[in-house]
Structure formats: C-alpha cells, structure tokens
C-alpha cells in the first residue's frame, strides 16, 4: 500500500477543468539545494527526472505553466536578480530543446517577514492573476514540495498537489493538499493527463 497517493482516485475528476498550472521551482523542477545553500547559477541546477516531459505534456494540452518561487538568496546577497534571471533564461533554453516552455516566472526576492509575496503569502499569485486575466483560482492548481507551497495555493482557493518522496509524509500541510505525487511527471500523468 505504500505506493498509493494521498488522494484517492476519485479526486482525478476534480482536476479536469485546470487550465493554469503553478509550479514551485526548487524541489519540483530542479533538485533543492541543501539547507543553507542556494542555487546561484545554471551550473548548480540539476533538473529532476521527467520534468521536461511533464512540462511538454502540459504545453501540449494548452495549459499555462507558471513558476512561483521564493528566492531568499537575493535578500541574503548570495546572488543577484540579474543572476537569477540568467538562470531562468537558461532554464527556458533547456526546456525548449525538449519542446517545452514556461509561460511566466514570478519570484520573491525578500527575506522572511518582509513582504506579502513570499509563499505562503499570495502576492506572486495575485501578480500572475493580474497578468493572466482569464486565470481563476478554481481553474488553477499549485504544485509544490513544501507546506508553504500548499498553504499559498490553499489561501488562493486553488487545488494543490504536494510533491513528496513518501506516500504518507509528515508535512503539517499535507492534509490541506488536494492530492500528492512523487514527482512532477507523476502529478501531470495522474491528475492532468
């Protein structure tokens, strides 16, 4: 039974109207750096298995793919905003070689407690909804690997998918997640295929 997802199969239908897929970056698209370390250049990026295919599948179904990511390293002077933008440009180039793309990337450069955009705050989502006026919480899903991702999506009234390596994680917010999966590819194939 350890291979089961948190959400029962009955939840599959609840994702049928999703047109906007919000993704966290670190831990969903690329391997998260160890605690206290930061992804500071493209050379630090290790794309997780299946990510290119997952994003290409979303693109093929005409869903918008939007990244919302906390990037506290900017506030801590570990890297600059131009360096972060360069990483994201390289990410887009990498994905394009697999026939995939991200429609937009939003990031929070602030430290904890300095803003409303740092997840679980909803500022990044509000900006995205402003830029994509056809987007609605009820037709969107947030896919992330942390409590703050799930809580941010829930705060917006969105469906949420928690990426977790274990089927029954101890994360405090897992109960708020609509569903879970072990990878972005599994989430897309199971719920958004």
The pLDDT value recorded for residue 120 is: 96
The alpha-helical segments, DSSP class H, found in the chain are 51-60, 81-96, 123-131, 147-155, 184-191
> Under DSSP, is residue 153 helix (H, G, I), strand (E, B) or coil?
helix
Q: Kindly state the percentage of the chain with pLDDT values over 90.
A: 84
178 and 159 Cβ atoms separated by less than 8 Å: yes
Q: Which residues of 152-178 are buried (b: 16+ CB within 10 A; e: fewer)?
A: bbbbbebbbbbbbeeeebebebbeebb
Domains and CATH numbers, the chain: 9-191 (3.40.50.1000)
Closest CA to 106 of 94, 114, 118: 118
Range ranked top by mean pLDDT from 19-28, 32-41, 158-167: 19-28
Which one, of 23, 32, 6, lies nearest residue 174 by Cα? Answer: 6
Q: What is the pLDDT of residues 63-87, one digit of tens each?
A: 999 999 999 999 999 999 999 999 9
Location of structure tokens 């703050």: 148
Q: Which residues are catalytic?
A: 24, 26
pTM of the model as a whole: 0.90
35 vs 31: which has the higher pLDDT = 31
């Amino acid at each position: 039974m350890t291979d089961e997802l948190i959400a029962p199969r009955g939840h599959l239908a609840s994702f049928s109207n999703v047109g906007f897929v919000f993704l966290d970056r670190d831990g969903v698209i690329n391997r998260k750096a160890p605690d206290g370390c930061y992804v500071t250049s493209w050379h630090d990026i290790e794309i997780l298995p299946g990510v290119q295919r997952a994003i290409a599948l979303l693109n093929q179904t005409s869903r918008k793919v939007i990244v919302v990511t906390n990037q506290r390293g900017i506030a801590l002077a570990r890297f600059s905003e131009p360096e972060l933008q360069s990483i994201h440009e390289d990410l887009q180039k990498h994905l394009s070689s697999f026939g995939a793309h991200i429609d937009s990337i939003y990031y929070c450069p602030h430290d904890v407690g300095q803003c409303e955009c740092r997840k679980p705050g909803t500022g990044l989502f509000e900006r995205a909804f402003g830029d994509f006026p056809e987007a609605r919480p009820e037709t969107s899903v947030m896919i992330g690997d942390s409590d703050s991702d799930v809580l941010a999506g829930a705060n917006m009234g969105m469906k949420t998918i928690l990426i977790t390596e274990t089927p029954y994680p101890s994360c405090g917010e897992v109960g708020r997640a609509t569903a879970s999966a072990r990878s972005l590819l599994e989430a897309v194939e199971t719920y958004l295929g």
